[in-house]
Amino acid sequence: MSVCLVCETRIEPFLSFGKMPIANGFLLPEQFRDEYFFELKVAFCPNCRMVQLAELVDRERMFHENYAFYSSTSVRMSEHFRRFADWVRTNYLTESDPFVVEIGSNDGIMMQNFARADIRHLGIEPSSNVAQVARDKGIRTVSRFFDEDLAKSIVAEDGRADAFLGANVMCHIPYIHSVFAGVKTLLKPRGILAFEDPYLGDIVEKTSYDQIYDEHALYFSAASVSYLADRHGLELIDVLPQPVHGGSMRYVLSHSGAYPISDAVRALRAKEEQLGLAKSETYDRLRTSVERSRDDLRALLLTLKGDGKRVVGYGATSKSTTVTNYCGITPDLVEFISDTTPIKQGKFSPGVHIPVRPYPEFVSRYPDFALLFAWNHADEILAKEQAFQQAGGKFIGYVPKVGLCG
Ligand code: SAH
Ligand code: TMP
Ligand code: ZN
């Protein structure tokens, strides 16, 4: 039993993954002994509709000077954020001398588009290593966790904002009321909040349970975002589905009454009712699908091992920490994980300790199978890995079902 982060109703987990390590906590052998674990469990609140973690990890354990996720490792995501920034400029930066704020700005993947266009901007990024990469690109960045107090000091120094943006960060913030209160303070009368995160509807439809890990405290839907907005004098005015990260939703909010509410909001609310996102039974069914997915993946990997096949992981994603630990995927089943991020290479994956090796090691000796941990980048990866497939290599996926892909 725990208490809802949004409305304080008492809630019960519908799914427990057992002990989990920090999803981005890639580590060296001398750190194995002190590795931190917590209980990963998710709950649904029938009152405000928020799906959420029932036990939280302190933010300083996850976001710090050695944060392992550098946004700009994906070319497709750079393009995505260029389009996101263009959409903001065209639709919402219509007043003179506009000001844009982004939280979780990471290495500047989105903000670089505003900086290059000489638009007044501020990135807020607590993980100081990635924040420095952004500064080196000429992006104004403060290394702090965003909250209501920081919002007030930004207003005092820079004035109010035309657009407040966040991608894959709102869902990281359990003290979400402070963020929404900060947004309310920070926005100009016609200012907007636009944020995108993995969408609960996609998680339920695709059984993409690997979206569930320590950093993702909240799993948004139009219903839960509307509830939150309402509590802060804000309003959900538009929703735009995004194909990134395995199915995301962009939510657009403004001060209540500042803009008309689009038909897309009404349509999505209706679709969520149809999908059963308001019903506990839906989450019980999700648990059953997750357990089946785990059993299928484990059975496949054991068969391949029995057949003497070499299996290598592709992409040491944060999501893969849930999959490897929950399914018991140890180095005897997956030889190593190939990843292009220098800070992860030479280290071991959290919990199950599979070695993470640089990409050239994948190419120099192709395995029989590549377990596609970075399935959310499947288009980009399958296009790039023609030679592997022509050499007889096969990709294994597990979303929405365990099987070969490509
Ligand atoms: N927006 C980028 C990065 C997402 S990763 C992208 O979509 O690729 C999430 C980022 O949010 C991390 O860099 C983390 O350090 C940052 N973050 C976590 N909590 C935050 C908070 N309270 N305020 C601002 N940024 C935060
Ligand atoms: P993400 O799913 O959280 O975006 O993380 C993607 C991870 O996969 C990141 O560590 C980089 C890695 N990666 C590769 O190794 N090769 C690739 O082609 C892509 C797109 C990602
Ligand atoms: Zn609630």
**Average pLDDT over every residue of 213-241:** 98
Distance of CA 51 from the midpoint of ligand 3 (Å): 8
Tell me, what's the pLDDT at 328?
Answer: 98
**Average pLDDT over every residue of 146-158:** 98
Tell me, what's the pLDDT at 164?
Answer: 99
Ligand sitting nearest the alpha carbon of 151: 1
Q: Which atom of ligand 1 is nearest to the CA of 124?
A: 24
- Could you count the other beta carbons within 10 Å of the beta carbon of residue 287? 15
Tell me, what's the pLDDT at 97?
Answer: 97
- Helix ranges (DSSP H) in 245-340: 263-275, 280-306, 318-327
For residue 74, give the DSSP letter: -
Chain segment 46-73, per-residue pLDDT in tens = 999 999 999 999 999 999 999 999 999 8
Q: Under DSSP, is residue 186 helix (H, G, I), strand (E, B) or coil?
A: helix
pTM above 0.95, yes or no: yes
**248 Cβ below 6 A of ligand 2:** no
From CA 272, how far away is CA 270, in angstroms rounded?
A: 5
Tell me, what's the pLDDT at 48?
Answer: 98
Tell me, what's the pLDDT at 260?
Answer: 98
Percentage with pLDDT > 90 across the chain: 98
pLDDT of residue 406 exceeding 90, the answer is: no
Tell me, what's the pLDDT at 47?
Answer: 98
**Average pLDDT over every residue of 345-372:** 98
Residue nearest to atom 12 of ligand 1 (CA): 104
Residue 29: cis peptide before it, omega within 30 degrees of 0? no
**318 Cβ below 6 A of ligand 2:** yes
pLDDT of residue 300 exceeding 80, the answer is: yes
**168 Cβ below 6 A of ligand 1:** yes
Ligand sitting nearest the alpha carbon of 6: 3
**Average pLDDT over every residue of 38-44:** 98
Q: What is each CA distance from 218 to 211, 215, 317, 336, 381, in whole angstroms?
A: 10, 9, 19, 31, 28
Chain segment 320-351, per-residue pLDDT in tens = 999 999 999 999 999 999 999 999 999 999 99
Tell me, what's the pLDDT at 73?
Answer: 87
Place 308 in a pLDDT band, splitting at 50, 70 and 90.
very high
Q: What is the mean pLDDT of the chain?
A: 97
Chain segment 177-191, per-residue pLDDT in tens = 999 999 999 999 999
**73 Cβ below 6 A of ligand 1:** no
For 21, the enclosing helix (H) or strand (E) is: strand 13-21
Six-digit token pair at 147?
């909250």
Distance of CA 341 from the midpoint of ligand 2 (Å): 8
Distance of CA 146 from the midpoint of ligand 1 (Å): 10
**Average pLDDT over every residue of 21-39:** 98
Instruction: Please count the CA atoms within 13 angstroms of the CA of 299 that sit on its side-chain side.
Output: 8
pLDDT of residue 103 exceeding 90, the answer is: yes
**Average pLDDT over every residue of 159-184:** 98
**Average pLDDT over every residue of 281-306:** 98
- Could you count the other beta carbons within 10 Å of the beta carbon of residue 296? 15
Place 1 in a pLDDT band, splitting at 50, 70 and 90.
confident
Distance of CA 317 from the midpoint of ligand 2 (Å): 6
> β-strands 10-11, 394-397: how paired?
unpaired
**Average pLDDT over every residue of 264-270:** 98
Tell me, what's the pLDDT at 332?
Answer: 98
